[in-house]
Amino acid sequence: MANSPLTEAQRTNLVKNASLIVAPGKGILAADESNTSVPKKFEKIHIENNEENRRLYRNMFFSASPELSKYIGGIIFFDETFYQKGDNGQLFRDFVKSIGIQVGIKVDKGVKPLEGGAPGETITSGLEDLDERCAKYSKEGAVFTKWRNVIHINVAQGKPSDKAIYENARILAEYAFICQKNNLVPIVEPEVLQDGDHDMHVCQEVTEKVLAAQYKALADHKVFLEGTLLKPNMVTPGQGCPKRATPQEIGIATAETLSRRVPPAVAGIVFLSGGQSEEQATVNLNEINKYKGARKPWPLTFSFGRALQESALMTWAGKPENVKNGQAIFLKRAIANHLAAEGKYTGSGADAGAAGQSLFEAGRVY
Ligand code: 13P
């Protein structure tokens, strides 16, 4: 490739790892909640936010089934979990790899206020020592990474500002470049938040603008797109918008947006759930895959956090006797999303029970 700083062997390796993560019917478990966002989860089930409880929580998911890799191609770890061991005494990352799942790591350090942006806008931090951290994680067995940017919509307040869009896009491109140099497949995540009362058309317009800026920045930084994954929001109305959209409408708007803005070279698209209920996220993913009216040359699958883990968390409630039931519920979600990733999910969402409850949190941090 002209001007690429990567060797042929590096490019081949990135393409191979990216394609393993998004192999047909597989998606990602985003188990990378930071130690500042786990407390909110644990408060709901009244358990202490300590290292051992976080380890037990992760152990429930990672050991849910020796067949987990039929549905899950990759797991995103948080730094602490990357060095923890499962109940079987093996490092989680080695265990996960041994059952055929690719190991990923969150490398951003969260958001901070964006100077010169509109009120409340943010920029993601973590670039300063990223090169060293990537070299270390890569040596220790990670093959992919995640970095989340956050874009707010509030038309009256001028959000998103151009500054927020372009600065965030530039930083995400710098991150992707550094990861690839270290043989890690970057997940590029420019999340347009659901917060707000804007309708679906505004979300579509903003998402299109953000993705256009993102792919320009990735090109400027000579990022090798075949060795990247995109983690976008689905195109939905804002959480507070009275005019709701059907799953079919969301499927069409999301597929159209991506077909207009994401180059075909990208290895795969892995959606975040963004506060949708577990069932909604699955049904919408299914509709995106079913829609035939837009060109979609990439795998379109999931990289869900809340929408894979929430009912399992509530069922577990921190009690050893509930682990098996929590695992069964998690597997049910994993299988539903595995089907949705191929447009073969037949659930309607009508009697989803706990899986039908909204998981929205205003101003979500990760
Ligand atoms: P949700 O699926 O809970 O939105 O989280 C996915 C994620 O990794 C956000 O960075």
Q: pLDDT, tens digit, for every residue of 34-70? A: 998 999 999 999 999 999 999 999 999 999 999 999 9
Closest Cα to atom 8 of ligand 1: 30
> What whole-number distance in Å separates Cα of residue 45 and Cα of residue 315?
9
CA angle in degrees (0–180, nearest 5) for 90-93-94: 55
pLDDT digits (tens, 9 = 90+) for 80-100: 999 999 999 999 999 999 999
Tokens 């509109």 locate to 118
Asked if pLDDT for residue 351 goes beyond 70, the answer is no
Q: Residue 9 Cα, ligand 1 centroid: separation in angstroms?
A: 31
356 domain-assigned: no
The ligand 1 atom nearest the CA atom of 359: 3
**Which of the pair, 351 or 204, is modelled with greater confidence?**
204
Asked if pLDDT for residue 17 goes beyond 90, the answer is yes
358 domain-assigned: no
The response to whether residue 104 sits with its C-beta less than 6 Å from ligand 1 reads no
Q: Structural domain of residue 231, as residue ranges?
A: 8-342
**Residue 356 confidence class, pLDDT cut points 50, 70, 90:** confident
Residue 178, amino acid: I
Closest Cα to atom 4 of ligand 1: 274
**Residue 122 confidence class, pLDDT cut points 50, 70, 90:** very high
365 domain-assigned: no
Asked if pLDDT for residue 181 goes beyond 70, the answer is yes
pLDDT at residue 365, as a whole number: 73
Q: Kindly tell me the sign of the dihedral angle through the C-alpha atoms of 146, 308, 330, 284.
A: negative
pLDDT average, residue stretch 200-216 = 98
353 domain-assigned: no
The ligand 1 atom nearest the CA atom of 274: 4
Residues in contact with 28: Cβ distance below 8 Å, sequence separation at least 6, in sequence order:
21, 72, 73, 74, 75, 76, 104, 187, 270, 301, 302, 303, 304
pLDDT average, residue stretch 145-171 = 98
359 domain-assigned: no
Do strands 122-124 and 111-113 pair parallel, antiparallel, or not at all (unpaired)?
antiparallel
111 domain-assigned: yes
Closest CA to 293 of 317, 258, 263, 319: 258
The response to whether residue 272 sits with its C-beta less than 6 Å from ligand 1 reads yes
**Any idea what the CATH number is for the domain that residue 107 is in?**
3.20.20.70
98 domain-assigned: yes
Closest Cα to atom 10 of ligand 1: 148
- The residue annotated as part of the active site, out of 106, 159, 231, 296, is 231
pLDDT at residue 2, as a whole number: 58
How many structural domains does the chain have?
Answer: 1
354 domain-assigned: no
